[in-house]
A and B are shown apart, each in its own frame.
Chain A
Amino acid sequence: MTAASELDELLPGRPDDAALSAQLLSTTSRPLTRGWKLAFAICAALTVMLFLLVALTVLRGIGMWGNNVPVAWGFGIINFVWWIGIGHAGTFISAILLLLEQHWRTSINRFTEGMTLFAVIQAGLFPLLHLGRPWFAYWLFPYPAEMDTWPQVRSALPWDAAAVSTYFTVSLMFWYLGLVPDFASLRDHAPTRRRRIAYGILALGWRGSVQQWRHHKVAYFLLAGFATPLVLSVHSVVSLDFAITGLPGWHSTIFPPFFVAGAILSGFAMVLVLILPARRVFGLQNVITPRHFDAMAKMVLITSWIVLYSYACELFVGWYSGDRYEMYQHLVNRPFGWYAWSFWLMLFCNCFVTQVFWSRRMRRSPIALFAVALLVNLGMWLERFEIIVVSLSRDFLPSAWHFFSPTWVDLGILTGTLGFFGLLFLGFLRLVPFVPVAELKQMRSELAHAPAAHASTPAEVEP
């Protein structure tokens, strides 16, 4: 594909800089629609419910959740892993695709980074909340305690704390760094003085000088470079929460890549779930195009195959190991045990439904994309349910086996995080240009001025 045709696919009509800025910055200042207000109100209500349930859990005890012994981790850790996984697509799109010079990432990268941050915020709630005594969570960090005690770093949980907080911080820094030039645009062009001051402070005085762009570019690429191993490491570390144990169904070396693939699958699915309505509501069909959908659908298809391969590996290794506990877990408990329905539903959602994306038409159909993406998100949640609840419910000693069932608090907190996530996201859509304006303009400029395209694009001759 030539640069020009790519540009036409990614940015049909090739709007000029001023038009792009005007269009993309305006998302922060358009009047609030009724739909947005309604969605915001629902999300705000769910968020209030979330924090009430959190308060209830903290006041009364973690017993408000359905966990028990043997299933000492339940919805809390499922939700944690699920949300963390969703976060992955953001960094994947913004960092790895940046390094791979995938131009199609530009229009959606900030959107997905925002999604990452808000998903990680939801995820970050759970390691804290699921503690029996969350007020002592600071013991996970090394500080010169009066008790002379330290964290125990052979456990995967301090790794988790380090990985998740690093992931969040680096994602936030990466996101912010990319936002600075756009904040400067808003400082100069937001409709009210108060907003200009607010954006102006956030822009730090950015003026687009040569020196600023020079360091900005290097830092941006560096952060992308750092975020790349990070995005692979975070879910790897999360997977180690399980893989370092001896539990049948957890004790598996395949977990890190398996988890990363699953995370990217769920992340892309969530991007699709969010971007399809946002694009429609904000009229961004010219910057977020079928070309983008096509690329994301292919990612979903690829990662879904990796996930299917991982499932197959788990089954095979479970059998090949000859270990009676592994065999029971993978060949009996999961497919035919108490929770067999979740196993088969998970396979259906994560591996079979996604096969529609072999069809180009499906890859570009918003309805198909939206439906499949929703199912994949459900399927990925079930995958974590499978790993955590189903494995724990039957481990070594049959005498200790027991069921898990969630309480209304569990369900309420899961719903509440969806609301909280939505709330943050709706706020993000209103307050921040969610398509990176400067980057998009630069991409347009680079593609337009690319040697092969130059002659054939008279539109690019400056007025």
Chain B
Amino acid sequence: MRLAQIGDAPALMAEFSSGPALLAGIRALRDAGVSRFDAFTPYEVAGLQELLGLRRSRLTWIALAAGLAFGGGAYLLQWWINVIDYPLDIGGRPFHSAPAFIPITFEMTVLFASAAALISAIVLGGLPRLWHPVFEIEGFERATVDRFWLAVGVGDAALDRERDTAALVAAGALRVEWLGARAGGRP
């Protein structure tokens, strides 16, 4: 079972009224052999990521790397300025005044780790992308309020449109829509 993102391949879109209903829909199709899903929910649905077998985001490591790189860079810059480039006698303090270099090092670590986290969250989430095929589905706008949409079988050879539509309805879908391939443009 894996996550598949809509974009290039056709998919079945099913509308559910709650998170648990959505999870039930996935379980029903999984039994039918469909393995590729995506979901669009107004808030995070507990258990969804686990059900789709997603591991923890690697965003943490990106943030860590950025924080260390820029924090270390900040310290090195301070050292280079004060020891190498233009050493000046400042109140009799040592050129390499390590304790005084720490606050900026810390702040730069946090700043760039945070920026990396934000940018990664946006980019890894496939954003910015103002238009997306799912926005063409009538009623999709409730995905940001109280409806939970499931996309089934994106690029999945096992997808059987009629069978799976029936299965989704049986699992509690309020509505099932066919989302054509991207080549079709706006349906």
Contacts and interface: CB of A to CB of B under 8 A. Distances in A.
A53 interface: no
A166 interface: yes
Nearest to A443: B43
A206 B54 CA distance: 20
Given A173-B118, A185-B145, A445-B43, A230 B110 contact: yes
B128 A441 contact: no
Interface stretch (B27-35, B89-97, B179-187): B89-97
Contacts of B85: 148, 150
Interface in A159-173: 159, 162-163, 165-166, 169-170, 173
B90 to A, nearest CB: 6
B117 A463 contact: no
Interface in A161-195: 162-163, 165-166, 169-170, 173-174, 176-177, 181, 184-185, 187-189
A61 interface: no
A208 interface: yes
Nearest to B17: A462
Interface string A75-118: 00000000000000000000000000000000000000000000
Interface string A205-243: 111111111111111101100110110010001001000
A226 B145 CA distance: 30
Given A205-B131, A222-B59, A159 B104 contact: yes
A166 B107 contact: yes
A11 to B, nearest CB: 14
Contacts of B124: 211, 215
B87 to A, nearest CB: 11
Interface residues of A, number: 68
Nearest to A233: B106
A204 B118 CA distance: 13
B149 to A, nearest CB: 8
B121 A226 contact: no
B39 to A, nearest CB: 5
B82 to A, nearest CB: 7
Contacts of B178: none
A211 B128 contact: no
Contacts of B37: 210
A189 B144 contact: yes
A185 B85 CA distance: 53
A233 B128 CA distance: 32
B42 A153 contact: no
Nearest to A186: B144
A16 interface: yes
Nearest to A205: B129
Contacts of A240: 103
A439 B44 CA distance: 9
B37 to A, nearest CB: 8
A65 to B, nearest CB: 27
Interface residues of B, number: 69
Nearest to B124: A215
Given A205-B129, A441-B43, A154 B115 contact: no
B100 A154 contact: yes
Interface of B: 3, 5, 17-21, 37-44, 46, 48-49, 52, 54, 56-57, 59-60, 63, 77-78, 81-82, 85-86, 90-91, 93, 97, 100-101, 103-104, 106-108, 110-111, 113-115, 117-118, 120-122, 124-132, 134-135, 141-146
Contacts of A223: 114, 117-118
Contacts of A16: 146
B73 to A, nearest CB: 11
A22 to B, nearest CB: 8
Interface string A449-463: 100000000000011
Nearest to B143: A208
Given A166-B107, A185-B144, A226 B117 contact: yes
Nearest to B39: A210
A47 interface: no
A452 B101 CA distance: 51
A219 B118 contact: yes
A215 B42 contact: no
A166 B111 contact: yes
Given A204-B129, A204-B130, A218-B57, A449 B121 contact: no
A170 B115 CA distance: 7
B63 to A, nearest CB: 6
A21 interface: yes
Contact of A442 (B21, B43, B48, B122): B43
A-B pairs with lowest CB-CB distance, top 8: A219-B121, A17-B146, A188-B141, A212-B125, A442-B43, A159-B103, A204-B128, A205-B129
B146 A18 contact: yes
Given A200-B130, A462-B20, 12 more contacts: A18-B146, A149-B86, A162-B111, A173-B118, A188-B141, A204-B127, A207-B143, A211-B125, A213-B48, A222-B60, A223-B118, A463-B17
A411 interface: no
